[in-house]
Structure formats: C-alpha cells, structure tokens
Amino acid sequence: MSERLFAEIEKRMKRIQDYVLSESYVRRFAPEDMQEAVTAYFRSGGKRLRPAVLLFACGAVGGDESKAVSAAAAVEIFHTWTLVHDDIIDRDTLRRGQPTVHEFFSQKSLRNGRFKSGDESAHHYGVSVAILAGDVQHGWGISLMTELTTRYGIDPAVTLKLIDTLDTYVLTTLVEGELLDVQQSRMPIEALTESDIEEMLWKKTGALYEFCGAAGAAIGLNTSDFSHPLVKAISNFTSACGAAFQLQDDILGIIGDEKLLGKPVGSDIREGKRTLIVQHAYRRASAAQRELLNRVLGNEHATSDEIAEVATLLVNLGGIEYTKERAKACIQKAIPCLERVPVSYYRDLLADWAKLMTEREF
Amino acid sequence: MSERLFAEIEKRMKRIQDYVLSESYVRRFAPEDMQEAVTAYFRSGGKRLRPAVLLFACGAVGGDESKAVSAAAAVEIFHTWTLVHDDIIDRDTLRRGQPTVHEFFSQKSLRNGRFKSGDESAHHYGVSVAILAGDVQHGWGISLMTELTTRYGIDPAVTLKLIDTLDTYVLTTLVEGELLDVQQSRMPIEALTESDIEEMLWKKTGALYEFCGAAGAAIGLNTSDFSHPLVKAISNFTSACGAAFQLQDDILGIIGDEKLLGKPVGSDIREGKRTLIVQHAYRRASAAQRELLNRVLGNEHATSDEIAEVATLLVNLGGIEYTKERAKACIQKAIPCLERVPVSYYRDLLADWAKLMTEREF
C-alpha cells in the first residue's frame, strides 16, 4: 500500500511547494532575514501529510482537487507557524534535521557579526525573528484561504466559514493543547490521568487534522454546512487519525531513528513531556524506578546515559506497547467513519493514509 | 475641539470593549491563563484610536457605522497582538501602567508556585504564554472580520479583500517595520539616514492606520475597490496621520509624563532606539556629545542620571523640536486628502483626530 500512497503524497507535496514558493508570494517578505525565515521550512521539506489529506478528502466527496490547492497550502503554512512558535516554547534547536528558525537566526547573527559570541542578545534576536516569522506565516495561511473564492470560485460562505473555524476553533484548540502540554510537564506524573493526556494531545494535533478533513470535503461539495453527512464522516475520520498520529509521534520520540526523524531521540524525556508512554510506565513502575523517572524526566542536565536508561525503562514497563495499542484503537474508530463515504480511489488513499499514521517511522 | 472628539472616541471605546468582552468570545479561550492573557489588554483600557478612526471613516463616506463595529474591534485586537509580541521583542515590562503579558505571567507563575524564584523557567513560561496569547488574538481579529458578512451583510468580496490585505500587506509591513527597528538599534547612528528611519516608523505604525481608513471607507461604501476616490482619499489621510502618531510617540518617549503614558520615560534611550530625534541630535552633536550618546544609547546598564542627561541633550540639540515639525508636516500633507471628502460631522471628527495625533500627551 505504501508505495502508491507515497507517490500520491509526493505529487501533491511538489505541487504545494511550487505554489507557496512562487515569486508572487516570496517577494512580499522583507527584510532579507524575514524572507529567509518565513520560507525556510518549505525549502527544507517535511512530510506534508496535512495538505495531502485535505486534497484526498476533496476528491473523496467527488470534488475537484485543483480548486483546493490554496487551502491545502494554507493548512501546511498554518501548521508550520505553530511549529515555529512551539520550537521557541519547547526550546528545540533541531527540526527535520535543520536548525529551528530561532536557532538558525541566533547563529546567523553571530556569524555575520551583528552580535558577539556569548552575547545573550544573539539568542534574543533569533527568538524575535522566529516570533515575527510565525506571525507572517499565520497571515499568509489565511490569505491563501481567501484565494478559494477570489481565485478558484468557491462560494464565499464556504471560505468565510473555513477562515473563521481555522482562526478561532482550531487555533484556540491548538494553543490550549500546547499550553496544557507546557503546564502538564511541570506537574507530578501521578496527578495526571490518561484522559488528561489524551485530551491534551488531541487538542495539539487532532483538531487540525479534523479541520483538514472538514475543509477538503466542504470545498469538494462547495458547502458551508459542516453538518453535511460527508463532511462529518470525513472530519471524524481525520480527527481520530490525528490522535493516532500524535501517539505515534510520541513513540518515535523514544524509540525512533534520529536520522529519519531529523531530531534527537530522547528530547521528550529531557523536556519531561507527559506522554501516555510515561503515564502508563509510571503507573507500573516500582518505587526505585519511579525515583529514576522523577530524577531524569524534565531534567535538562540529564546525561545521555540517563536518557537511554529511562528510554529502556519506558519500553520494559510496556509504555510503548500500550501507546501503540491506543493508536491502533484510534484507527479502528476512524475506519467505520470512512466507510460512510462512497467507494473510490480517493477513499482507498484515505484508508492507506490512516494505516500510515501508526506505521510510519519518520 | 478635544472635548467633542474625546466624547465621540469614548462612546466607541465602550462599544468595542463590550463587543469583544462578550461571553460568546471570552469562553472560547482556555485554559485559565490563556483566557486571562488574551483579554488582559482590553480590560486595562487603552487609547482605542484605531477603531475610532475606522468608524469615523465609515461614517464620513455616508456608511452605517453599526455595520463596521466588528471590523473596528478586529483592528484593535490586531494591533493588540502585535503589541504583545513586540513587548517580548523589546523586553518591555510595563504598558499602559500594567505589567506586559509576558511579565505578568512570569510573575504569576512564581506567585502560584508553578516555578521557584530565580528560576529562568518562570520568565520562559511568561514568554510562552505571551507568544500563544498573541497568536490567539491574531486569529480572533480575523474571525471578527468574517462577521462583516456573516453578521452585518457586507458584500463578501469586501470582507475577503480586507482579510487578505490585513493579513498580508499590512502584516508583512508591520513586521518589516518592527524588524528594521530591532536591526537599526544595533547600527551606528551615523549609518542611518532620515529616510531610513521614516521608512521604518511608517511601516511600524502608518500601515495599520492606512488600513483603518481604507477599511472604514470600503465598508461604508460596501466596495472592494480600494482605488475608489473616497477610499484613496481617506486612507492617504490616515496613513499620513499614522506617521505623525509615531513621531509624537517618540517625542513622548523622551519628554512625556510617565503617569499619562503608563510606561517609563527613557526606555527608548536604554533600548537604543534610532528615532528621528536621536538621528537629528547626533548630526548636530559635538565629538564629546557623540561620545555620550554612543555610551548611553542602547546600554542596558545606563544609570537614570545618564538617561536624564541624554534626554536633556536630545532636547538641547533640537531633536524634539525638529521631530515635532516633521509630525506637523505629516498632518499638513494629510489635510488636503481629507478635503476631497464631502463636508460632514464625521469629516470634522477626522480633522480633530488628525490634530490629536501631534497634540496628544498620552
């Protein structure tokens, strides 16, 4: 299944890439550092799973994918700006094998002599550029949404509904998820229930996937009625798959391949992320094992040996296995929703895509 | 003139305040820290000059102000999120007499024991909340723009054009202005020309005022044609006034009354802002005076005596007087644009408002 799916994703990835990196957009961004910052993540690749699923959803309801291309680009850019800001918040320095935006411009400002080595201002400059670059990408994403009507003739009621939904319901949900993540990582593990964690991770990831399904279907049907049975069916499907995506992300964060991931495995441990893996393992840990977990999780001075020891412990206590089961359960819940959509090549692609959520290693 | 104008601004300020703080919006924001952060600036007051001018512009072209209320709220919220992010970038801890968002949540997280005193993480938490709060406000502003059509029946072509303009042209211009400001404050003063500085400050402030005029007029006329003579006339008028507003802001930053401003006078000196005041004074300074300026401007360890000495020097070298003249020249340029608009009470209010730009002390 994967080869067909990858070929179809790849085709759309290239289309979105060409679309967003066209001169008419890029020349809007100035000065030079801002132009570089705003376009950096698009030049460096990425999985592009969100635009692909939006386009598949559009096709699956019998719509014309080519009318949804600006919306597909919009969700990718929308996702990107949230990463740029989250990387500042999570103090991540690497993403997709490249320095994150704030890290890159901090380093660049040292290289070009704007700041001197050891100057905290270089870090602050990098953070400033990344805050502003995310803001510009946010606006760019919304602007691309307006093209649904102005360039592709979609009913303006659909476009306005999508913009409103993306910029309030989806955005407030994403931000709530991110802030809950920050807050939970400071809380004692035993104070958190499984549903606290599943709520946080659906908000962080599921809400935008839900939107991708709804948007693709609504554009394909040219309807602003999100309670239309096909819009409901597909958005419920992508919503559940989004939760599985995040669970798999957490698994790869512990046992993934750094080269495929483009970021250091174990950083979730150092940051003290309260994943389902950690929560499940902690419940089954002995007193001595809990002591180790409490000492290493969220300890920025933890050694790589300690990180490795905790990773092994999380595996041995069944945290990975359990989380894998939960991810599969999400997909089990998703498939019946998809079955309400008429049979088509697009529906098959969506089913393949659902499997990818729990089987991917990148 | 001022009393009439203040009464009219006050009336609209209250209307906007009630509109944005209605339960239907506020309950969208979670968790608690986010709800508090997103609504903080609205609870603490502010000048509300942007929504007022948008509403006056709508009335001045014969439009019905009550149809523009969500757009007026939108520009205020849009302006607010840029302040929340700029305060992080400028490391400002006070605004309108209250702690800035990042400062407030840093302090709050210490008070409620989430972090311990001396923990750098408390500052990082405050910054994280402020980044996310600004993002949510950005989305909220755009969502309010969609109400122009969905709630007030404005032609969707107008609404989509306003959203696109605000989220690309205006946003990229504001961000460019902010980044130029950051970059210029690291450059030798003698390397900057008057037009470098005037370009930066128009981008930082004038672009959004230009938009307020254009939006009010376009809504009032229910047209998406921004080249309509009345839209052009009013947006050129508000654009020039916006530049004057920023020049006056820089003047108040040196010689203003801290109580009226709600922030410490002299912080522009400590941050090394390259204002027209500084640029003009530096050109006329002796070698010894230049040495003082170079030593104190942008020096975060400067004493209050040094700050006061530089402030006096900037006055004595004519920097304030010259900048005042430039601000008045902007208004001189603005008035003929306004004269292309038919006589009305609204036009008189706009003329009063223009005077306020250079005469305000708050």
Structure confidence by residue, pLDDT tens digits, A221-237: 999 999 999 999 999 99
Q: Please judge whether B175 and A132 are an interchain contact, meaning their C-beta atoms are less than 8 angstroms apart.
A: yes
pLDDT at B116 over 90: no
What pLDDT score does A147 carry?
98
Return d(Cα B284, Cα B317) in angstroms, integer: 7
The pLDDT of B329-338, averaged and rounded, is 97
Q: Please judge whether A31 and B180 are an interchain contact, meaning their C-beta atoms are less than 8 angstroms apart.
A: yes
The pLDDT of B198-203, averaged and rounded, is 96
Q: Which of residues 143-182 of B touch A (CB under 8 A)?
A: 143, 146, 149-150, 156-157, 159-160, 163-164, 166-169, 171-172, 175-176, 178-180, 182
Q: Encode burial over A161-183: b for 16+ CB neighbours within 10 A, e otherwise.
A: bbbbbbbbbbbbbbbbbbbbbbb
What pLDDT score does B120 carry?
87
Q: Please judge whether B128 and A88 are an interchain contact, meaning their C-beta atoms are less than 8 angstroms apart.
A: yes
A154-199 pLDDT, tens digit per residue, is: 999 999 999 999 999 999 999 999 999 989 998 999 999 999 999 9
Question: How many Å lie between the alpha carbon of B137 and the closest alpha carbon of chain A?
Answer: 9
- Domain at B2-359: CATH architecture: Orthogonal Bundle (1.10)
A252-265 pLDDT, tens digit per residue, is: 999 988 887 777 78
Question: How many Å lie between the alpha carbon of A278 and the closest alpha carbon of chain B?
Answer: 21
The pLDDT of B29-39, averaged and rounded, is 91
% of chain A beyond a pLDDT of 90: 83
Quote the ipTM score: 0.94
Residue B97 has which token pair? 């007499």
Question: How many Å lie between the alpha carbon of B311 and the closest alpha carbon of chain A?
Answer: 25
SS (H, E, C) chain A: CHHHHHHHHHHHHHHHHHHHCCHHHHCCCCCHHHHHHHHHHHHCCCCCHHHHHHHHHHHHCCCCHHHHHHHHHHHHHHHHHHHHHHHHHCCCCEECCEECHHHHHHHHHHHCCCCCCCCHHHHHHHHHHHHHHHHHHHHHHHHHHHHHHHCCCCCHHHHHHHHHHHHHHHHHHHHHHHHHHHHHCCCCHHHCCHHHHHHHHHHHHHHHHHHHHHHHHHHHHCCCCCCCHHHHHHHHHHHHHHHHHHHHHHHHHHHCCHHHHCCCCCHHHHHCCCCHHHHHHHHHCCHHHHHHHHHHCCCCCCCHHHHHHHHHHHHHCCHHHHHHHHHHHHHHHHHHHHCCCCCCHHHHHHHHHHHHHHHCCC
Taking contacts as CB-CB distances below 8 angstroms, the residues of chain A near B168 are: 28, 139-140, 143
**Cβ pair B250, B323 in contact under 8 A:** yes
**Cβ pair B238, B338 in contact under 8 A:** no
**Cβ pair B238, B347 in contact under 8 A:** no
From the candidates A80, A86, A167, A183, which should be mutated to test the interface with B, based on the most B CB atoms within 10 A? A167
Judged by DSSP in three states, B98 sits in strand
What residues contact residue A297 under an 8 Å CB cut-off, 6+ apart? A189, A269, A272, A278, A310
Closest CA to B297 of B306, B305, B284: B306
The pLDDT of A26-41, averaged and rounded, is 90
Question: How many Å lie between the alpha carbon of B81 and the closest alpha carbon of chain A?
Answer: 10
Taking contacts as CB-CB distances below 8 angstroms, the residues of chain A near B182 are: 125, 128
pLDDT at B41 over 90: no
What pLDDT score does B257 carry?
86
Taking contacts as CB-CB distances below 8 angstroms, the residues of chain A near B136 are: 171-172, 175
DSSP B342: P
% of chain A beyond a pLDDT of 70: 99
Q: A35 touching B, CB under 8 A?
A: no
pLDDT at B47 over 80: no
Question: How many Å lie between the alpha carbon of A351 and the closest alpha carbon of chain B?
Answer: 32
Q: A15 touching B, CB under 8 A?
A: no
Closest CB from A91, A168, A176 relative to B143: A168
What pLDDT score does B1 carry?
57
Q: Which pTM value belongs to this model?
A: 0.95
Confidence label for A45 from pLDDT (cuts 50, 70 and 90)? low
B133 against A360, higher pLDDT: B133
Please name the residue of chain B whose CA is at the shortest distance from the CA of residue A128: B89
Q: Encode burial over B145-176: b for 16+ CB neighbours within 10 A, e otherwise.
A: bbbbbbebebbbbbbbbbbbbbbbbbbbbbbb
What pLDDT score does A46 carry?
72
What pLDDT score does B318 carry?
97
B140-195 pLDDT, tens digit per residue, is: 999 999 999 999 999 999 999 999 999 999 999 999 999 999 899 989 999 999 99
The pLDDT of B211-240, averaged and rounded, is 98
pLDDT at B45 over 70: no
What pLDDT score does B103 carry?
96
**Cβ pair A216, A326 in contact under 8 A:** no
Q: Please judge whether A176 and B34 are an interchain contact, meaning their C-beta atoms are less than 8 angstroms apart.
A: yes
Taking contacts as CB-CB distances below 8 angstroms, the residues of chain B near A160 are: 146, 149-150, 156, 159-160
pLDDT at A361 over 90: no
What pLDDT score does B267 carry?
86
A303-333 pLDDT, tens digit per residue, is: 999 999 999 999 999 999 999 999 999 999 9
Return d(Cα A326, Cα B45) in angstroms, integer: 48
What pLDDT score does B214 carry?
98
pLDDT at A11 over 60: yes
